[in-house]
Amino acid sequence: MKVSTYKTIFFAIAFILLANNGVFAFRISTESNSTTSPSNETTPIHKMHREAILDGGCDFDVDFCNWTNETSGDDFDWIRLKSRTPSSNTGPRKDRSGEGFYIYAEASWPRKAGETARLLGGPFSGIMCMRFFYHMYGRHIADLQIYLKEDGMENFVWGRYKNQGNTWRYSNVTVFGNNYTIIFAARVGKSYQGDIALDEITFVNGTCDGKELNYLPRNLTVHSDMKRGETGTCDFDGGFCEWINLPLGDEFDWTLNSGATGTVDTGPEKDHTGYDGAYIFIEGSAPQRYGDRALLMGPRICGRMCLQFFYSMYGDRMGKLSVYKREGVRSDDLLWTMSGHQGPDWHEALVDIGGACYQIIIEGVVGPSYLSDLAVDDIFFSKGTCCQLKQDSFDAGLIGNCTFDEGLCKWINDPNDDFDWQLIEGGTPSEETGPTAGYEGEGQYLYVESSEPRRFADRAILTSGLLKGLQCMRFRYYMFGQDMGSLSVYRVGDGIMRGRLWRRYGNQGDKWHEARITLPCNSTSYMIQIEAVIGVWRSDIAIDKIEFTKGACPPFQRAITAATTTTTSATTPTLPAHLLVENDCSFKGHFCSWINDNNDDFDWLINSGDTMTQNTGPTSDADGDGWYIYLEASLQKSGEKAKLLSGYMTGTQCVQFKYHMLGSGIGTLRVYQIKRKDSTPRVVWYRVGDQGEDWKNAQFNLFGRFYRVFIEGVRGSTFEGDIAVDSITFTPGRCVVRVSEEEIQADSHLALGVCSFDSGFCQWRNEGNEDQFDWSITEGETPSKGTGPQTGFGGSGKYAFIESSSPRRAGDKAMLTIYGSGEDRCLLFAYHMSGKDIDSLSVYKQELGKGILPALLWNSNGNQGDDWKKAKIGIKGGSQYKLIIEAVRGQNFRGDIAIDEVGFNKGFCGKQVRMVKAGNKSGNSK
């Protein structure tokens, strides 16, 4: 045998011994550049590494080994290369060793941003640590991701994005399963400077951090009673199923356990079922410290899901348990959280999840001391919302149904109100108020007595037991009396603030009425409160026959006359004039009767205080109760939509609400009306772009026999695009527009003559609500150089203008308004639009009392030169209307817009615009 052969055997034995002793073992958290990587070995060991590792390893010096480019499902292929990539300022100069080949994804033309190249390896089985080197250098690097594909399901296991520097970096990841495939996916960035490279993939048995992985084949981990759940369902009796402890980003791991934890006075005694099964928990004792986190990640799932799980948080120094949603390598989205001592029992959590494809992460955080063992068990995923689970095995009728013939059933009088509801049979003691008998003509009912010692506005509150799920609540009420107060229904409890669902006030006539309220299932459990507020002495209020059924309430049926007569006319409304469902909502911790549409891209969220992104969104709510709804732009893509759907209503309604649209990337807020027999929604109100830092008022009318509305928010161009809504009210009848006598000039016509702004704004007014700043009056030049006129129209005098300097921002609007009616008029004015940042000047007309949007009559955009121009616009007369002159601030301070000599002539005139040199029209000088 030659000496060289002995040397080779010696080095091989030495390598194996060193590896077995952990010299070359690296934890999965290891991440380094090539100067500190484990491959700085002597050349002989490096050259023979293929013999010391498992199948699947490849240095790409000869070929792709057992790795292949995906033939379908991606956009282009990985390429083998020995020298530098063709593009400058991106990609490596040579392979990791400096001598051989590597593979890379070329980002140059004809590649487009977002395209991917996928490299497939496998199949593999068992638990292994995959080690590799990657190179991600370039101004427009997108991302490199690793997926593990098993049984047709791809699970994200590792990822890096953006520029990682001009060096080879080492990383590793634990992979496991049965007959699985590993996928490297490189995505193209915004330009050619986005080449991504791979080299020296190796595998060794076991986990990367040397810890035991609780893994069993999937068919052995889920008991038969858990198989009906979707991917991710696990009772932990046979292991972690498809869940893994994250190797990066936390301080320790979740642990499997059965029976009690090792510490007294904390943790569960048994698993959730109470038998000898297993659960997972975090150990709060040493070496863990206060604030240490353990992260558990589930498999990749797609679509709308309901997550059900059970948790134990028993311990006086308990920490926090949270559930997050992770999509790709983006920031995690918090879905649910609970903190502090919750008692010795297991508790149920139900979490609605929406999105395309994602993974769920469960985070346990250690509390201030060792008394903080928290546990999770019986994770269950099902398609759709959690409503069905909330209703399974729960009969709300056993809790809430009551005819009051045998008492209050399970309803109780609130001890914190002013007086109590009382049981009675027959008529109430006071005359000219209250019923003479129960709803069905006999039996007991419940009422409030408004006579002395009661005082005006005293409250009586009746509270239900604990309810769950989507329910229809029906009850009968009687509100007869000249001095009648109000009757309201509220929902409270389990994380939601008290919010009104339904209300009636005033005399409703000498008869019983039926109320129907759909109770949405956006909370795990809740209670109902029925509150009566008295007027004066003739204001007895009664209720009877409360019923609960599963699901949403059906609509009221059309009344039918006796069999000997014909049915009511087809033109008669199918519903009473009040709302079927109380759609008024201040979003005080819940959505009232409004629901997020399942057919949109993302959901409206409830919030208090600031939104999560700076320079956009409100800092507080609009009505002072602390809550509002909004769409979070930073979590979505441009153009994605969130829709919020109302309950049904009928007849003419005046709609009013508050909206907030602040940010450079604001998209669109629209309100649509949907009629039952017309599937095409109709836009009834909208706003586009930044509307300033204040809450704005919206008001419009709705007409129809039977319809719903939905509020649609569209994500704008950037993450600074949060849109918020608050305080929605619906009032039967048309909106009342209140204007002053001086604004409606004799309520017959606009006064003739010209406003030169020498003595103020004449009868024009700066808009108080719909714009972001006001028109100003000045004489001479405006304060900013390079924009605005030097003098008023005609060479002297004052004029009105908008000042574009700070604190104004791009898109801010200033509006001048005047009201009129009667005969046709001709509006004439001079305008000046000089400056490189000029945006637009427009004139609108809005018909009052008709619930329609302002109509554009005239518009001019951009720099029009350093001259005054003149405009002439015909105004059709008729009913009351409002004229609006709107100026929009441009991108910078050189965007001052001015108007002058605004006046009206008799009769209608056609549109006419002609250039007039400053000072040339002596007849119009001031």
Extract the tokens encoding 311. Answer: 């948790």
Please check the confidence at residue 216 and state whether its pLDDT lies above 50: no
Please answer whether residues 342 and 318 qualify as being in contact, where contact means their C-beta atoms are separated by less than 8 angstroms. yes
Query: In terms of DSSP bridges, do strands 357-365 and 320-326 run parallel, antiparallel, or are they unpaired?
Result: antiparallel
Instruction: Give the span between the Cα atoms of 716 and 382, in whole angstroms.
Output: 32
CATH number for the segment(s) 244-388 = 2.60.120.200
Does the 67-205 domain belong in CATH 1.10.10.10?
Answer: no
Domain limits, the chain: 67-205, 244-388, 396-550, 595-732, 765-906
What is the Cα Rg of the chain in Å? 36
More confident residue, 163 or 12: 163
Interval 371-393 mean pLDDT: 80
Class of domain 595-732: mainly beta
Q: Which of 452-461, 653-662, 712-721, 901-910 has the lowest mean pLDDT?
A: 901-910
User: Which pLDDT belongs to residue 744?
Assistant: 38
pTM, full prediction: 0.36
Please check the confidence at residue 925 and state whether its pLDDT lies above 50: no
- The 10s digit of each residue's pLDDT in 793-844 is 888 789 999 988 877 888 889 999 888 777 788 899 999 999 999 999 999 9
Domains 67-205 and 595-732 equal at CATH topology level: yes
Instruction: Give the span between the Cα atoms of 132 and 115, in whole angstroms.
Output: 23
Residues with Cβ < 8 Å from 6, sequence gap 6 or more? none
Q: Is residue 23 exposed (0-12), middle (13-18) or buried (19+ Cβ within 10 Å)?
A: exposed
Q: Which of 32-41, 417-426, 469-478, 824-833 has the lowest mean pLDDT?
A: 32-41
Residue 1: pLDDT band (50, 70, 90) is: very low
Highest mean pLDDT among 356-365, 517-526, 744-753: 356-365
Residue 24: pLDDT band (50, 70, 90) is: very low
User: Which pLDDT belongs to residue 163?
Assistant: 85
Instruction: Give the span between the Cα atoms of 529 and 447, in whole angstroms.
Output: 15
Instruction: Give the span between the Cα atoms of 233 and 236, in whole angstroms.
Output: 9
User: Which pLDDT belongs to residue 684?
Assistant: 83
- The 10s digit of each residue's pLDDT in 509-547 is 889 999 998 887 666 678 899 999 998 778 899 999 999
Please check the confidence at residue 18 and state whether its pLDDT lies above 50: no
Please answer whether residues 905 and 828 qualify as being in contact, where contact means their C-beta atoms are separated by less than 8 angstroms. yes
User: Which pLDDT belongs to residue 36?
Assistant: 38
User: Which pLDDT belongs to residue 6?
Assistant: 44
Residue 851: pLDDT band (50, 70, 90) is: low
Q: How far is CA 540 from CA 393, 409, 441, 514, 696, in A?
A: 38, 22, 18, 17, 39
User: Which pLDDT belongs to residue 579?
Assistant: 41
User: Which pLDDT belongs to residue 564?
Assistant: 30
| Four-CA torsion 589, 592, 597, 602, nearest 10 degrees | -10
DSSP state of 921: -
Residue 424: pLDDT band (50, 70, 90) is: very high
Residue 444: pLDDT band (50, 70, 90) is: very high
Query: In terms of DSSP bridges, do strands 301-302 and 333-339 run parallel, antiparallel, or are they unpaired?
Result: unpaired
Please check the confidence at residue 573 and state whether its pLDDT lies above 70: no
User: Which pLDDT belongs to residue 225?
Assistant: 39
Please check the confidence at residue 50 and state whether its pLDDT lies above 60: no
Percent of the chain with pLDDT over 90: 32
User: Which pLDDT belongs to residue 389?
Assistant: 67
User: Which pLDDT belongs to residue 37?
Assistant: 38
User: Which pLDDT belongs to residue 441?
Assistant: 86
Instruction: Give the span between the Cα atoms of 124 and 56, in whole angstroms.
Output: 8
Q: Domain 396-550 falls in which CATH fold?
A: Jelly Rolls (2.60.120)
Percent of the chain with pLDDT over 70: 82
Please check the confidence at residue 331 and state whether its pLDDT lies above 80: no
Interval 165-193 mean pLDDT: 89
Interval 237-243 mean pLDDT: 83
Q: Is residue 347 exposed (0-12), middle (13-18) or buried (19+ Cβ within 10 Å)?
A: middle
Residue 676: pLDDT band (50, 70, 90) is: low
Q: Which of 309-313, 443-447, 798-802, 905-909 has the lowest mean pLDDT?
A: 905-909
Residues with Cβ < 8 Å from 17, sequence gap 6 or more? none
| Four-CA torsion 85, 89, 91, 96, nearest 10 degrees | 100
What value does the mean pLDDT of the chain take?
A: 80
Alpha-helical regions (H) of 309-409: 387-391, 396-400
Instruction: Give the span between the Cα atoms of 98 and 103, in whole angstroms.
Output: 14
Does the 765-906 domain belong in CATH 2.60.120.200?
Answer: yes
Interval 493-521 mean pLDDT: 79
